[in-house]
Amino acid sequence: MIVSKTTQCYHCGDEVSHTAYEADGHAFCCLGCQSVYQILSSSNMQQYYRYNTHPGKKKTEASVRYEYLDEAAIADKLIDFKNDEISVATFYIPSIHCSSCIWLLEHLYKLHPAIVMSQSDFLKKQVNIRFKHTELTLRGLVELLVDIGYEPKITLQDVIKEGRKFSQKGLIAKIAVAGFCFGNSMMLSFPEYFGMGAFEARYSEFFGWMNLGFALPVLLYSGRDYFRSAWQSLRRKELNLDVPLAIGIAVLFVRTAWEVLSTSGPGFADTLCGLVFFLLVGRWIQERTYHHLSFERDYRSYFPIAVTRLGEGGAKPVPLADIRVGDRLLIRNNEIVPADAILLNGQAAIDFSFVTGESDPVRKVLGEIIYAGGRQTGEAIELEVVKAVSQSYLTRLWNNEAFKPYERNFRTFSNTVSRYFTVTLLGIACSVLAYWFLAGDGVRAWGAFTAVLIIACPCALALSSPFTLSAALSIFDKNRLYIKNTAAIEQLATIDCLVFDKTGTISSPSASRMRFEGSLLPHEWEMVRAVCKNSSHPLSRELVKWAGEGSSESLSLSEYREIAGKGIEAIVSDYRIRVGSASYTGAPGNEKGSRVYVSIDGEVKGCFLVAQPWRQNLGLVLGELAKECRLHLISGDNDKEKAQLCSIFPPQADLLFGRLPIEKMEYIQSLQAKGHRVCMFGDGLNDAGALKQANLGVAVSDDINNFSPGCDAILDGRSFVKLPRFFRFAKDVVKVIHMSFGISLAYNLIGLSFAVTGTMSPLFAAVLMPLSTVTIIGFTTVATHLYARKNQLIKS
Amino acid sequence: MGVIFFLIGCSVFIALIFLAAFFWANKTGQHDDTYTPSVRILFDDEVEEAGSTPTERSEAS
Q: Where residue A82 sits, what CATH number does that domain have?
A: 3.30.70.100
Instruction: Determine the pLDDT at residue B54.
Output: 44
Q: Are strands A381-385 and A481-483 parallel, antiparallel or unpaired?
A: unpaired
Residues A522 and A606 in one domain: yes
- pLDDT, tens only, A214-226: 999 999 999 999 9
More confident residue, A574 or A423: A423
Residue A234 CA: distances (Å) to CA of A239, A241, A254: 6, 11, 21
A268-317 per-position pLDDT tens digit: 899 999 999 999 998 888 777 655 555 555 666 667 777 888 877 777 88
Residue A541 has pLDDT above 50, yes or no: yes
Per-residue pLDDT at A557: 73
Which of A356-365, A511-520, A655-664, B21-30 tops mean pLDDT?
B21-30
> Could you tell me if A748 and A454 are in contact, meaning their C-beta atoms sit under 8 angstroms apart?
no
Do A548 and A561 meet the contact criterion of CB atoms below 8 Å apart?
A: no
| Mean pLDDT, rounded, for A418-434 | 88
Res A272: pLDDT: 92
Question: Does residue B18 lie in a domain region?
Answer: yes
Q: Is residue B1 situated within a structural domain?
A: yes
Burial of A268 (0-12, 13-18, 19+ CB in 10 A): buried
Q: Is residue A159 situated within a structural domain?
A: no
Cβ contacts of B33 on chain A, cutoff 8 Å: 121-124
Choose, out of B13, B24, B33, B42, the residue to mutate when testing the contact with A (most A CBs < 10 Å).
Answer: B33
The whole-number pLDDT of residue A291 equals 53
| Residues A625 and A701 reside in one and the same domain | yes
Domain annotation covers residue B46: no
Contact A50 B58 (CB under 8 A): yes
Could you tell me if A127 and A169 lie in one domain? no
Cα distances (Å, whole numbers) of residue A14 to A8, A17, A41, A411, A665: 5, 9, 20, 49, 41
Quick check: is A294 in a domain? no
Sheet holding A375-376, edge to edge: A362-364, A348-351, A375-376
A685, A704, A727: which is the final residue of a domain?
Answer: A727
Domain limit, last residue, from A288, A314, A346? A288
Q: How much is the mean pLDDT over chain A?
A: 80
Predicted local distance difference test score (pLDDT) of residue A218: 94
Give how far Cα A414 sits from Cα of A461, A462, A584, A749, Å.
Answer: 8, 8, 63, 18
Q: Which domain holds residue B33?
A: 1-41
What CATH number has the domain bearing residue A544?
A: 3.40.1110.10
The number of domains in chain A is 7
Q: Are residues A445 and A475 in the same domain?
A: yes
Residue A375 near residue A350, CB atoms below 8 Å: yes
- Count: domains in chain B: 1
How close does chain A come to B57, measured CA to CA in Å? 10
- What is the reported pLDDT for A60? 59
- Let me know if residue B5 belongs to a domain: yes
Q: Clarify whether residues A699 and A661 are in a common domain.
A: yes
Residue A543, pLDDT above cutoff 70: yes
* Residues paired with residue A376 on neighbouring β-strands, in sequence order: A350
Residue A44 scores a pLDDT above 90: no
Q: Which residues of B touch A177 (CB under 8 A)?
A: 19
pLDDT at B56: 40
Chain A residue with minimum CA distance to B38: A99
Which of A50, A123, A180 has the CB atom closest to B54's CB atom?
A: A50
What pLDDT sits at residue A440?
82
The domain that holds A381 is classified in CATH as 2.70.150.10
Angle of helix A487-494 relative to helix A723-755, nearest 10 degrees, comes to 110
Partnered with residue A483 across adjacent β-strands are A713
Do A568 and A531 belong to one domain?
Answer: yes
Amino acid sitting at position A556: S
Both A349 and A444 in one domain: the answer is no
Phi-psi region of A138 (alpha: psi -120 to 50; beta: other; left: phi over 0): alpha
Domain assignment present for residue B49? The answer is no
Q: Do both A720 and A743 map to the same domain?
A: no
Whether the predicted pLDDT of B52 surpasses 50: no
DSSP output for A517-536? EE---HHHHHHHHHHHHT--
Q: Looking at beta carbons, which residues of chain A come within 8 Å of B15?
A: 180, 183-184
Quick check: is B14 in a domain?
yes
Quick check: A362 pLDDT over 60? yes
Lowest-confidence segment of A15-29, A566-580, B15-29 by average pLDDT = A15-29
Instruction: Find the mean pLDDT for residues B10-22.
Output: 94
Amino acid identity of residue B27, one-letter, is K
pLDDT in tens, A459-506: 888 888 888 888 888 888 888 888 877 778 888 888 889 998 877 778
Burial class (CB in 10 A: 0-12, 13-18, 19+), A174: buried
Q: Does B44 touch chain A (CB under 8 A)?
A: yes
Interface test with B, best of A50, A111, A174 (most B CBs within 10 A): A50
Question: According to the model, what pLDDT value does residue A624 have?
Answer: 87
B23/chain A closest Cα distance in angstroms: 7
Is the predicted ipTM greater than 0.90, yes or no? no
B59 to chain A: nearest residue by CA? A50
Q: Do A732 and A715 fall within a single domain?
A: no
**How confident is the model over A42-60, as a mean pLDDT?**
79
Residue A393 has pLDDT above 80, yes or no: no
CA angle, A107 then A112 then A115, to 5°: 70
DSSP string over A390-404: GGSHHHHHHHTSPPP
A714 and A758: one domain?
no
pLDDT band at A163 (very low <50, low <70, confident <90, very high): very low
Of A50, A51, A121, the CB nearest to B36: A121
Are B36 and A176 inside 8 Å of each other by CB? no
Domain containing A549 equals: 513-611
Q: Which residues of B are less than 8 Å from A180 in CB distance?
A: 15-16, 19
A597 with A631, same domain: the answer is no
B59 found inside a domain: no
Query: C-alpha angle with apex A641: A638 to A647, nearest 5 degrees?
Result: 140
Residue where a domain stops, chosen among A257, A288, A319: A288
- Read off the pLDDT of residues A238-266 as tens digits, 9 standing for 90 and up: 778 888 899 999 999 999 999 899 888 88
Q: How far is B17 from chain A (nearest CA, A)?
A: 11
A306 and A381 both lie in a single domain? yes
CA contacts within 13 A on the Cβ side of A160? 15
CA distance A748 to chain B (A): 33
Contact criterion met (CB below 8 Å) for A228 and A240: no
Determine what percent of chain A is predicted with pLDDT higher than 90.
12
Q: Would residue B61 count as lying in a domain?
A: no
Look up residue A8 and give its DSSP letter.
B
In a domain, A408, yes or no: no
